[in-house]
Amino acid sequence: MRQNGIDMYRVSNFFIKNCVTVLFVILCIIALYITTFSPTFILEEIFMRMGRSTLLVLSLLIPVIAGLGLNFGIVVGAIAAQAGIFIAVFFFQYIETLFGEGRLLGFMADFAGIGFIGFLIAFAVATPLAILFGFLVGKLFNKMKGTEMIGGLVAGFFSDGLYQFFFLFVMGGLFTVDMMARLFPDAALNLILPTGVGVMVNINLQGNIAGAVDNVSMLRIVDAAFYVVSAVSAVMLIYRFVTKKALGLLKIAKVFVPVAILWGASHIFPAVEEFLLADRLRLIYAVEWTAFLVAAISLWRIIQEKALQKKEGVPLRPILYLAAAALVYGITWHPAVYTAFMHVRLPVLTFLLIIGTCFFIRWFLNTRLGQNMRTVGQDRAVATSAGINVNRVRIIAIIMSTTLACWGQLIFLQNMGTMAMYGAHPAVGLYTVAALLVGGASVQSAGIKNALLGVVLFHTLIFLAPNVGAQLMGDSQHGEFFRLFITYGVVAISLALYAWSRIKTASSAAQIGDPAPDTGGGAQES
Amino acid sequence: MERITRAAKDFGLARSIILGFFLLLLVLSGVYGMSVPRMLTDVFIRWGMHGILVLAMVPSIQSGIGPNFGVSIGIIGGLLGALISIELRAAGAFLGLGSGDREVGQAADAVATNGAAYGDYLADYYEIVGGGFFNYVGQLPGADVVVQIIVAMIIGLFFAAIFGILYGMLLNRVKGSEMMISTYVGFSVVAFFNIMWLVLPFRAGTSIWPIAGAGLRVQISLVDDFSRVFNHLWAVSIGGLIIPTGLLLVFFLFCVIIWLFMRSRSGMMMSAAGANPSFAKAAGINVNRMRILGTTISTMLGAVGIIIYAQSFGFLQMYSAPLFMGFTTVAAILIGGASINRAWIFNVLLGAFLFQGILVTGPAVANQLVPEGNLSEIARIIISNGIILYALTKAKEVAR
Amino acid sequence: MEAKRVLELDGITKDYSGNVVLKDVSLSVKPGEIYALVGENGAGKSTLMNILFGMSVIRETGGFEGSVKVDGEEVHFQSPADAMAAGIGMVHQEFMLIPGFTIAENIKVGREDTLPNLASRVVGKSLETLNRGKMNADARRALDTIGMDIAEYARVAGLPVGYMQFVEIAREIDKENIKLLVFDEPTAVLTESEADQLLAVMKTIAAKGIAVIFITHRLSEVMEVADRMTVLRDGEVVTEKPIADTDVVEIAQLMVGRRIEKLVDDKEENFAPGEDAEIAVKIRDLYVNMPGETVRGVDLDIRKGEIFGIGGLAGQGKVGIPNGMMGMFPAQGEVEVFGEPLQFAKLGDALSKGVAFVSEDRRGVGLLLTDSIAHNIIFNTMTVRRQFLNAGLMNAKAVREHAAEMIQLLDIRCVGGGQRVGSLSGGNQQKVCLAAALTLKPRLLVVSEPTRGIDIGAKKLIMEYLSQLRDEEGLTIIMISSELAELRSICDRIAIVTEGQVSRILAPDAPDVEFGLAMSELGDREVS
């Protein structure tokens, strides 16, 4: 009876804590039931949206951990990215024409493709800008401890105002249509609004930055990986040799050998090379390979534990992983799943970057600086008394977040293929925060799994809403408004629940802090 | 003596800079050959138009919930009131009450409806400005529209009171995070009513899309309703500067009502609850109830405020238009010298005037330098969000 | 004096804007010694520790005279971090722990053990990877040293309150160079068995050669563990001697004994009501859940027309009594004022039944700092009694006149009734609080810490005025104060509250030792 009561309490507590996630799961199921889109199409769309949005959502994690709450200020990172892309496009449209097509970049473009060069320019311009903006926002946040979230929101609007002012009026004043025509007579596309003042509202990125990351072929990735790993290995060996440390050949070989084998295979076997020439990986392969890899590692673990180390008991975890891998692999044999999975093609480098970022964040939190961030996030007073420079740690957290958001926006825009100069950034804060909250995060705790789950759930609903609205109401406008409502609503509910629970725990802590009055035993003890 | 130094200190550097900037802009606009009286007329009209919304910040700040970023909830209430009054008018409820002399206004409204820029609305005053230094340019509205706007306000107040109480109860559960939550609750309510505007059964011809036969328009013209009722009431022209007497009187009337309320027992209890909740508790005041009271009054003022705003503008702006009105009004009262913990009627009068003053004169002058484009929207974004950021960085000194 | 000294404080004198709080205090601590520091609130213990740890508050108020030597070398700490670097640690009264972290992480907070990696070699040490193995092993060792068998990888969040104290200690002794550890009232929040364990740990630490400074008011604990002790009183060292040469009674007497300040002139007539006087306030079984000042079952009978004092050390619960009565914190039990029971849950019930309260937290609870003097004086009367109103609005004229009257009566030094209360001095703010309470025309006046932080002139005026109220108007007054001398100078009877209960009710002229014992532990038990 009592056991049952506790379980009921736990269950209800779980639902209250995760009510936003639960609500979204239910809404997604309803939407999937109603929608007229085919499963294959939905799957394709969701993976595409995952590819372009996940990095932005991941950029929110570090400030949450450092106790700054949900960083609505990542809008400034997006602004930095757009400034970078503008410069890159400007470069292609005007500067390069002065030298004649392709001459300036010919050599590099041969290797990576013209889009990648554009992307690198944008990256090189945007990253320092993002660091600078992040530093400024961090400084600002240190002046408003406790109100960082509303501060970040307002700072986002404010910087949007400055951004519009800059690109519509300052740039407009400097580069008039006439002047551009005189300076760059051969320029094909005009970046200036036809009225003559201000930068174009929509900038077409086709032919320069569009798909720069998505379209990098696997062969190029393998090549680049081989060069980088070779160089790093060489440097490490030399360093260790010079400083007379143990060479650690085995450890280096562990990384170097597989990469070298892959690289070698891609250049020796035409079949491998042909396969790797593609820039998209079919989802079916990704799933199957992951399943094989997990299975292999699990088997190795089991062998290691039972045969080599002769440990007692059943190695439960590897067995579970093995079973899961087998199950997933089995599912791919279902015809419907197979067709859908065959159809979805993942941009390889983009997904590698996302996975890499996830691992980076995990690694980072296990460093001294990461641990300091967690400390600052949990209790600033303890951090100060432990000798941690709280303000500095907070600024670093915001710089990292802003920079990641900037890169996330670069990825987003190269995937979109066009840049809405004045429309692409303002909503970034709202949509990423909403996605993270949908994944079960709160103001004070957020993890990678919240980010990934949130992106999937949020974008499923956002993508389906207009279609479902049209089905139910005969008008897609309802769905458009509904998704705006649900986005704002998610943020409002999550924030309110968090604030409420904080007040409740604070008052119950006060109750626990003192012996209950009715025992009256407090004084007799001593 | 202390009062003077305190007043000077309260006025503050930021305010002095903004006031100086406004005066500079006025001088510059004269230098560039723009009509200063005409510009000031625009400022006066917008002052009265925006003032009551800004006034809505006073009870919320004083009762301790901080600047009411969610004033859009009250605005929704006001819109409902206005829409229902339009329905009543369309059903003939106000017929036979007698109409006043509205010909000039209607003509100008018709121009505006046909797509003329908002700034041109001054035209309908200047059409009848005579040659003398002092002219009466007012028009008495008909009893029908006066009754209609009062009905709109009463219905709006009714909805806003209900919303305000619920909203206040919510804010009591999230003490310490009011600003963020009121912002997003305001956003959510606006987004929810976006759907409602499509669904609710409004039928008046001027409200809904003529072709679809359902769903409210994005902008609903009030030409047949209470467009500019107060703007034209007893308006006078003094050397080309037109004072919208009726509009300002309505604004001041609400200021006086709030001023009186703040001097009443309830008002003082509410202020004490906001200034120092522990003190209020020791004095036997129910702090939560006072916060609900403040939130509700603020929300109700938001409802009245949007009706006054709409009658001056000539249109009801539906859908996402109220989304950022919270930010604009918060910025206005902060410019007027309020902090996020304390606000007074004087801050409303000064803040609304300076804010609108800069928004009118700034872009006008800037457009002399950069001939094309409309700066006013960008200026609004930069100024309003800049001043809010400034106030937030100052807030910690008060440390609550 | 030939032995090595870990810490030597020599001739420490400190004043806060003329108010001397430490006068030529000297003490020295040997390695491996447990050194008790005993004294009432305000005796100067915490100021001494602030000086030792180089807290910024000392520098900001003009520094101090005298010298601090660690291991024989003079030091000038600029921050607690400097003190820590020199091997001086503190076990805080309020825990500086992070609930979401493991015990090991808490022990190592800010001092994490790390291993270099590729990134850290390029970017810097801050990117070194945590060496969790070493962190856990070190934490284990520290926990073992103090005999705690909890797992180092457990989270602090679920631990009992008492264990947190031990985690704090483990963190301090894990620091390699720790020489001196300060325990500030460590047993205040512990159960009896935990307190015993803590004392044992203290001995273990001392046995390792680490010096311990033990700040406490529990004299039996001092007797149990300390090697030597110093009694501080009014900022001066009263005595320093080995524990073996003294006993509880002597310490108690030394701690309290002092000349009684003549705050109120003697009067020929004695207005104190006799034993048969009418009972004005009857308190039965009062429990108040006020953080830091918990009341655990108080019974009191207060006679009509007396000034009843409630004394005791800070944190023992004396302040909780009025706060519970006034409904500021959750309370249980019965309180009758002139026969009418108070309902704690109903806001403002005590006010409406004629009880006026001057809070100990003048700025936080007592006043609206941004409002005028006049407004503050009339506020409660206006809200509770609906006076000073005219057709529902504030009657500015009546308010002004009444404020002027009160300003004159209590000699509030100000420009006028319109001045903001926040800009007044502490003493004048206190007078405004009193004026506000008197404006209510109460039957019972409860004043909590009326003289805290105010100058002697204002203190004298307030005390005289209180006794005048009793003498001339027969007002019943409950006065709560940490300053025993003050209570003894005007009260008719004094209750000493210890650990949330009344330990003794004493006459103001009772011997010092009685007060000392009553304050140090539950009096009756200690004596018997």
- What is the tens place of the pLDDT at every residue in B123-180? 666 666 666 677 777 778 788 888 899 999 999 999 999 999 999 999 998 888 889 9
Report the chain B residue with the minimal C-alpha distance to residue C347.
B284
**Smallest Cβ distance to C98: which of A232, A378, A523?**
A378
pLDDT, tens digit (0-9, with 9 covering 90-100), for A27-81: 899 999 988 888 889 988 999 999 999 999 999 999 999 999 899 999 999 999 9
Report the chain B residue with the minimal C-alpha distance to residue A475.
B198
Alpha helices in C262-370 (DSSP H): 320-325, 349-352
> Two tokens at C222?
């001092």
The reply to whether C392 touches chain B by the CB within 8 Å rule is: yes
Same domain, A90 and A152: yes
User: For residues A14 and A6, is the Cβ–Cβ distance under 8 A?
Assistant: no
Residue A112, C-beta contacts closer than 8 angstroms, at least 6 positions apart: A216, A220
Domain boundaries, chain B: 2-398
The DSSP letter of residue B67 is S
pLDDT computed for residue C140 by the predictor:
92
> Two tokens at C27?
């003490």
Whole-number mean pLDDT of chain B? 84
Q: Would you call A383 and C110 a contact, using CB atoms and an 8 Å cutoff?
A: yes
The reply to whether C111 touches chain A by the CB within 8 Å rule is: yes
Predicted confidence (pLDDT) at residue A7 exceeds the cutoff of 80: no
pLDDT computed for residue B161 by the predictor:
96
Mark A278-294 as b/e (b = at least 16 C-beta within 10 Å). Answer: ebebebbebbbeebeeb
Residue C256, C-beta contacts closer than 8 angstroms, at least 6 positions apart: C40, C484, C512, C513, C515, C516, C519
Q: Would you call A371 and C289 a contact, using CB atoms and an 8 Å cutoff?
A: no
**Mean pLDDT, to the nearest integer, of B336-342?**
86
H or E element in which residue C75 lies = strand C73-75
What's the burial of B351, exposed, middle or buried (CB within 10 Å: 0-12/13-18/19+)? buried
What is the side-by-side strand order in the sheet with B134-136? B134-136, B236-238, B241-243
pLDDT computed for residue A196 by the predictor:
63
Given A399, A425, A451, which residue is the final one in a domain?
A425
Neighbours, chain C (3 or more CB pairs < 8 A)? A, B
Chosen for mutation from A382, A389, A400 (greatest number of chain C CBs closer than 10 Å) is A382
Q: For residue A493, what are the domain limits?
A: 18-58+427-502
Distance of CA B186 to the CA centre of its chain: 16
Q: Would you call C383 and B268 a contact, using CB atoms and an 8 Å cutoff?
A: yes
Comparing B2-11, B17-26, C15-24, C198-207, the range with the smallest average pLDDT is: B2-11
For the four alpha carbons of C303, C307, C313 and C317, in that order, the dihedral sign comes to positive
| DSSP sequence for A316-366 | HHHHHHHHHHHHHHHHTTSHHHHHHHHH-EEEHHHHHHHHHHHHHHHHHTT
Same domain, A207 and A144: yes
Give the percent of chain B with pLDDT over 90. 40
Cβ neighbours of C309 (radius 10 Å)? 26
Predicted confidence (pLDDT) at residue A339 exceeds the cutoff of 70: yes
**Smallest Cβ distance to B275: which of C328, C368, C382?**
C368
ipTM: 0.86
User: For residues B250 and B234, is the Cβ–Cβ distance under 8 A?
Assistant: no
Same domain, A137 and A164: yes
> Two tokens at B82?
């206005």
pLDDT band at B289 (very low <50, low <70, confident <90, very high): very high
Report the chain C residue with the minimal C-alpha distance to residue B270.
C383
Just give the CATH number of B2-398: 1.10.3470
pLDDT, tens digit (0-9, with 9 covering 90-100), for C97-137: 888 889 999 998 888 888 888 788 788 888 888 888 899 99
Task: Report the phi/psi class of residue B221: left, alpha or beta, with left for phi > 0 and alpha for psi in -120 to 50.
Answer: beta
Neighbours, chain B (3 or more CB pairs < 8 A)? A, C
The reply to whether C131 touches chain A by the CB within 8 Å rule is: no
Same domain, A373 and A391: yes
> Two tokens at C171?
């963190």
pLDDT computed for residue B222 by the predictor:
85
Query: A148 lies in a domain?
Result: yes
Most confident of A398-402, A414-418, C91-95, C349-353: A398-402
Same domain, A396 and A492: no
pLDDT band at B122 (very low <50, low <70, confident <90, very high): low
pLDDT computed for residue C267 by the predictor:
56
Same domain, A353 and A206: yes
Comparing A476-485, B254-263, C183-192, C515-524, the range with the smallest average pLDDT is: C515-524
**Domains and their CATH numbers in chain C:** 1-87+177-258 (3.40.50.300), 98-174 (no CATH), 261-354+492-528 (3.40.50.300)
Q: Would you call B396 and A491 a contact, using CB atoms and an 8 Å cutoff?
A: no
pLDDT computed for residue A358 by the predictor:
95
Provide the number of structural domains found in chain A: 3
CA distance C21 to chain A (A): 26
Alpha helices in A365-447 (DSSP H): 368-378, 380-385, 390-416, 428-438
Is pLDDT larger for residue A352 or for residue B210?
A: A352
> Two tokens at A362?
């995990």
Alpha helices in C230-385 (DSSP H): 248-256, 320-325, 349-352, 373-385
Same domain, A237 and A107: no
Neighbours, chain A (3 or more CB pairs < 8 A)? B, C
Helix (H, G, I), strand (E, B) or coil at C239: strand
Same domain, A186 and A103: yes
The residues of chain C scoring below 50 in pLDDT are 1-2, 260, 523-528
pLDDT computed for residue C528 by the predictor:
35
User: For residues A22 and A12, is the Cβ–Cβ distance under 8 A?
Assistant: no
List chain A residues with CB under 8 Å of C195: 526
Is pLDDT larger for residue A516 or for residue C521?
A: C521
**Smallest Cβ distance to A168: which of B184, B199, B378?**
B378
pLDDT computed for residue A434 by the predictor:
92
Same domain, A89 and A144: yes
Same domain, A195 and A75: yes
List chain B residues with CB under 8 Å of A484: 191, 194
Beta strands A418-420 and A202-204 are antiparallel
Chosen for mutation from C328, C393, C423, C440 (greatest number of chain B CBs closer than 10 Å) is C393
Q: Would you call A385 and C128 a contact, using CB atoms and an 8 Å cutoff?
A: no
Predicted confidence (pLDDT) at residue A515 exceeds the cutoff of 50: no
Is pLDDT larger for residue B233 or for residue A505?
A: B233
Same domain, A197 and A78: yes
The reply to whether C339 touches chain A by the CB within 8 Å rule is: no
The reply to whether A420 touches chain C by the CB within 8 Å rule is: no
Task: Report the phi/psi class of residue C24: left, alpha or beta, with left for phi > 0 and alpha for psi in -120 to 50.
Answer: left
Residues 221-240 in A contacting C (C-alpha not used; CB under 8 Å): 232, 236
Whole-number mean pLDDT of chain A? 83
pLDDT band at B100 (very low <50, low <70, confident <90, very high): low
User: For residues B181 and A491, is the Cβ–Cβ distance under 8 A?
Assistant: no
**Mean pLDDT, to the nearest integer, of A321-350?**
88
Identity of the residue numbered A239? Y
Query: A420 lies in a domain?
Result: yes
The reply to whether C115 touches chain A by the CB within 8 Å rule is: no
Q: Would you call B191 and A489 a contact, using CB atoms and an 8 Å cutoff?
A: yes
Q: Would you call B176 and A500 a contact, using CB atoms and an 8 Å cutoff?
A: no
Distance of CA C94 to the CA centre of its chain: 13
pLDDT computed for residue C371 by the predictor:
87
Query: A400 lies in a domain?
Result: yes
**Smallest Cβ distance to A388: which of C105, C110, C291?**
C110
Q: Would you call B372 and A196 a contact, using CB atoms and an 8 Å cutoff?
A: yes
Report the chain C residue with the minimal C-alpha distance to residue B289.
C347
Same domain, A74 and A208: yes
pLDDT band at A386 (very low <50, low <70, confident <90, very high): confident
